[in-house]
Structure 1
Amino acid sequence: MTNNRPHLLAVDDEEINLRILEHYLSDSDYQVTFAQSSNQAWDYLTNADYQFDVLLLDWVMPDVDGLELLKKAKELENYKHVPAIMISGLSAPSAISKGLNAGAFYYLTKPLGQDVLFSVLKAALNELSSIRSLVENQDKFTDAFSLINHGQFNFRTLHDVNCLVESLSSMFPHNINTPIGLRELMINAIEHGNLGISYQEKTHLMEIDQWEEEVERRLLLNENTDKNASLNIDKNSDRVEITITDQGIGFDWEEFLEIDNERITDPHGRGIAIAKLFSFDDLNYVAPGNIVKVRIDLRPQ
């Protein structure tokens, strides 16, 4: 099925919950396919006529629960990087952490709010767009970047980050998670480091859909026009070590190295922890927090 609108797969065994989602999404720009069981959803996921851009998965279902369905979907080549949003009445922090650690992009608790749903869907589709761009461009600079042993790159804007990450992704042709993690750390260096956007400010900006506009506005301020961040590469035969440095005052990074239960439903704040889990073999910040070092082991393929 081809359609220019983003295609969502919504899975829930209770019809009332699917009707709520249908009501929320009926006048939106999304195309939605509904499944009332994991088995029905799996039939859609393995049908070549369907390609979904976001998965909305209920956790508790009688046949196969949403977490198991997510794990199975991630094993499919064309759904390896498609974001999944878990929806559940389970609001215990341990349950939320379990979903995120399994690879869910986000976790929403019932009853579901329409504004929160649309905000999370937009973030998920932005993430998917970035990943698809990385995948499409991953082979573009493979020969050139395979020759690099040492190098430094300076970056200042979100556009710089996207360009650099797309180029660097060719160094890791078998692991798209590494450039995704680098992108997270580089954006953190710009927004929080050089531009001083606080956690609370970013939460508000994302809620009103003005984060990117605020980043661009602050980049134009006189006190920020000369601020750059840097990315240094040190590569040998068995590993790549990357250091990212910004010109900020640092931050209390230790609380962001793990998925924090108190921030777990915020629209951001999990990127560093996810990167630590899935993107790198080692990640460490250097006090006061404006320098982060990561290591990627080069494994034979």
Structure 2
Amino acid sequence: MNDQTRPKILAVDDEDFNLDILGEILDEAGYQPVLAVDGREALALLELHPDIEVIVLDRMMPNMDGMACLAALKSDARWRDLPVIMQTAAASHDQVRQGIEAGVFYYLTKPYAADILLSLVRSALDDARRRADLLGDVRRQRTVLGLMQHGIFRFRTLEEARNLSVFIANCFPDPERVVYGLSELMINAVEHGNLGITYAEKTRLLLEGDWENEVVRRLNAPDKIDCYAWLTLDAGPGAISVTLQDSGAGFAYQSYLELSPERATDPHGRGIATARLMSFDELTYEGNGNRVRCIVGLTNH
């Protein structure tokens, strides 16, 4: 793989030793590392390398620390959606929560193993690319779907969930806001609800690079061939709602409604919280957790 095809990862750390190790890990894993010693140099390098896809950002640095650099990124439309992995020596929940509230959904506490770093980089890249693909599809497929008032749909596979999320998002006044969160909830209905992949199992499968293969294996099991999740769309004069129902036994959804410091270093586990925070005005689980209702108020748009 040459440099033109290797994803660029910006690594920012004021400690030369740490920065060298970061660069080596990323390079050996097939990425093209771009190295900076503080936030100011990181922002300057972004101007020179606009194709950077992920930033691994140290929190505590001189000149411009990680939080100040993050604020600058979020204030610039060009870099606002770049995924950031915040790395720090402090394992304080308060610091992790501050980072999450500032827009960091991936957190890495020092010292860390190379496989944990790389799993977070892979997850950040996959999430960013999936979001970009969904937005591209939404923009290409805008139609008169905003006139739809009611619809019932079923889906079974990850591909069906993705395609249906794009279709349904176009029924909302701001489809680009809705599509990523809706896609995350629909994927959750397939993998966790219908197929029974637990949180711990998904963590292991992602670290092993075998998650999608396991989803396909379970979808092909005889008892899952006719196992569907259902989506109901209702559009009224004041709001549009989507209700998702899977065939599973439910789960303890309460702890997933917020971005948790305890899960900040995991390669997944952010979908429900980001859907609630970014995509919908209301998100409510019902019953045992295998049914979720999402609402966007039309008066807000």
TM-score, length of structure 2 as denominator length = 0.92
CA contact (8 A) 1:6 1:53 kept: yes
Q: 1:238 to 1:48 in 2, by over 3 A?
A: farther
Residue aligning to 1:20: 21
Q: CA deviation at 1:289?
A: 0.9
Residue aligning to 1:35: 36
Amino acid at match of 2:167: S
RMSD between superposed Cα atoms in Å: 2.0
SS for the counterpart of 2:242 is strand
Amino acid at match of 1:7: K
Aligned residues: 299
Alignment of 1:1-301 (within 5 A): 3-45=4-46, 47=47, 50-172=50-172, 174=174, 176-298=176-298
Q: C-alpha offsets along residues 12-40 of structure 1, whole Å, 9 cap, x if unaligned?
A: 12222211111212323211211111111
Q: 1:68 to 1:36 in 2, by over 3 A?
A: same
Q: 1:7 to 1:202 in 2, by over 3 A?
A: same
CA contact (8 A) 2:123 2:268 kept: no
CA contact (8 A) 2:84 2:106 kept: yes
CA contact (8 A) 1:140 1:170 kept: no
TM-score, length of structure 1 as denominator length = 0.92
Q: CA deviation at 1:237?
A: 4.3
Q: CA deviation at 1:100?
A: 2.0
Q: C-alpha offsets along residues 62-87 of structure 1, whole Å, 9 cap, x if unaligned?
A: 22321232232133223232211111
Supply the distance in 2 between the matched residues of 1:153 and 1:163 (Cα, whole angstroms). Answer: 12
Q: 1:282 to 1:300 in 2, by over 3 A?
A: closer
CA contact (8 A) 1:13 1:37 kept: yes
Q: CA deviation at 1:284?
A: 0.6
Supply the distance in 1 between the matched residues of 2:179 and 2:153 (Cα, whole angstroms). Answer: 15
SS for the counterpart of 1:151 is strand
Q: C-alpha offsets along residues 177-227 of structure 1, whole Å, 9 cap, x if unaligned?
A: 421111111111111111111222222222212111111100011111111
Supply the distance in 2 between the matched residues of 1:193 and 1:244 (Cα, whole angstroms). Answer: 11
Amino acid at match of 1:298: L
Supply the distance in 2 between the matched residues of 1:17 and 1:103 (Cα, whole angstroms). Answer: 24
Structure 1 unmatched runs, 5+: none
Supply the distance in 2 between the matched residues of 1:59 and 1:52 (Cα, whole angstroms). Answer: 19
Supply the distance in 2 between the matched residues of 1:177 and 1:57 (Cα, whole angstroms). Answer: 26
Supply the distance in 1 between the matched residues of 2:60 and 2:72 (Cα, whole angstroms). Answer: 16
CA contact (8 A) 1:81 1:131 kept: no
Q: C-alpha offsets along residues 155-175 of structure 1, whole Å, 9 cap, x if unaligned?
A: 110111111222333345746
CA contact (8 A) 1:140 1:167 kept: no
CA contact (8 A) 2:172 2:240 kept: no
Supply the distance in 2 between the matched residues of 1:271 and 1:244 (Cα, whole angstroms). Answer: 15
Give the ranges of 4+ consecutive aligned residues of structure 1 lying more than 6 Å apart after TM superposition: none
SS for the counterpart of 2:78 is helix
Supply the distance in 1 between the matched residues of 2:129 and 2:163 (Cα, whole angstroms). Answer: 14
Identity across the alignment (%): 39
Q: 1:51 to 1:287 in 2, by over 3 A?
A: same
Q: 1:300 to 1:267 in 2, by over 3 A?
A: closer
